[in-house]
Amino acid sequence: METILIPIDFSEVSKNTAEYGIQFAKERNAKLILFHVFNIPVYTSDDISFMPAYDEFEKSNMIAMEKFEKELREKYLFTNPIENIIKSGFLISEIVDLVEEKEIDLVIIGISEAGKLSEILLSSNSIGVIKNTNCPTLIVPDGVRYRPINTVVFACDDIEKVADTNAAKQIRGFVELFNSKLIVLNVVDSFENLDQEILLEAKKEVLFEDLNYSVLFIEGNDLIKNLNNFIEKNNADLLIMIPKKHDIISRLFNESKTKKMAFNSLIPLLAIHE
């Protein structure tokens, strides 16, 4: 993992995300890109409209970015490269372009029930960014502080469908990167319909044999509550999911459910490309 992108809007949410991201990058000896997208405001009165000069607005934003970078470096003794990028435009499309241009390995974003950045990134376009860029995206809930990733939970509804996919390779890569324990968590309609033969076959299908992993099951009814209870009980540090158009897990990735999951999540959520 060489380059990590963090969108910044100078809100407390994005500052918390940057603090999480810089510790994440420090442990992995990665480069950071702090990215701010702005729109030039138009001031109006009854008689006149006024728009600040682009160069002046860009300069003031860059000064703020450089000040923020300095604060991060001093607080976390971060010596790896940090690149500050300022652009005007639409956040999502600018992220898509930058991910390709800079060959980004991971995007880290923050979320909160309020705040411009979170509202934009948790729209349906956020899933589009994940799929269009083929770049893993780490969603950090507001207030979540960085801690070593010792236990990773991968929630899915069918292990067999994940086998031999790009997603399986990415999951393996992250688990090896963190040197962590992996819990493959199967979401099922009901435990009543889950017999021992199905359970054993599911375990056999997992292609993580040489990793420290286990296979467990939870019911899909009240999935958000059940996931969070499982995360807390197992002291998990990271939840991995794959946004899909179909299957049980997709219920968390429509706009309302994703927001609810994100706002109530106890740990960061890593969305990876299918």
Encode pLDDT of 69-94 as tens digits. 999 999 999 999 999 999 888 788 88
Distance CA 233, CA 266 (A): 11
Residue 239 β-bridge partners? 153, 269
Residue 127 has pLDDT above 80, yes or no: no
Give the pLDDT band (50/70/90) at residue 218.
confident
Topology of domain 3-141, CATH: Rossmann fold (3.40.50)
Using the CB atoms, write b or e for 104-126: b if 16+ within 10 Å.
bbbbbbbbbeebebbebbbeebb
| Residue 23 near residue 30, CB atoms below 8 Å | no
Distance CA 122, CA 109 (A): 10
Please, what is the average pLDDT of the chain?
78
Q: Which of 79-88, 97-106, 156-165, 189-198 has the weakest average pLDDT?
A: 189-198
pTM of the prediction? 0.82
Domain 151-271, second-level architecture: 3-Layer(aba) Sandwich (3.40)
Task: Give me the residue spans of the domains in the chain.
Answer: 3-141, 151-271
The HSE-up count of residue 152 (CA atoms within 13 Å, CB side) is: 25
Query: 3-141 and 151-271: same fold?
Result: yes
